[in-house]
A = this chain, B = another copy of it.
Amino acid sequence: MSDKERVILVTNDDGITAGGIRTLVEVAREFGKVVVVAPDSPQSAMGHAITITQPLRLKKVEIFEGIEAYACSGTPVDCVKLATDKVLHRKPDLCVSGINHGSNSSINIIYSGTLSAAMEASLENINAIGFSFLDYRSDANMEVAKKYVRTIIEQVLTNGLLDHQLLNVNIPNLPENQIKGIKICRQARANWTEEFDERIDPQGRKYYWLTGKFINEDAGEDTDEYALQEGYVSVVPVQHDLTAYNGITFLKEKWKGFV
Contacts and interface: CB of A to CB of B under 8 A. Distances in A.
A46 B49 contact: yes
B196 A81 contact: yes
A116 interface: yes
B235 A239 contact: no
Interface string A238-252: 111111111110111
B242 A238 contact: yes
Given A123-B191, A194-B85, A184 B78 contact: no
A207 to B, nearest CB: 4
Contacts of A183: 259
B259 A186 contact: no
Interface stretch (A3-11, A16-24, A159-167, A171-179): A159-167
A186 B240 CA distance: 12
Interface size class of A (residues with CB under 8 A): 35 or more
Contacts of A110: 48, 119, 240, 242
Interface of A: 42, 44-53, 55-58, 75, 77-78, 81-82, 84-86, 107, 109-111, 116, 119, 123-124, 151, 155, 159, 161-162, 164-165, 168, 181-187, 189, 191-192, 194-196, 198-199, 205-210, 212, 235-248, 250-252, 254-255, 258-259
10 contacts: A50-B210, A57-B208, A78-B210, A81-B210, A81-B212, A82-B208, A107-B240, A162-B246, A184-B259, A237-B247
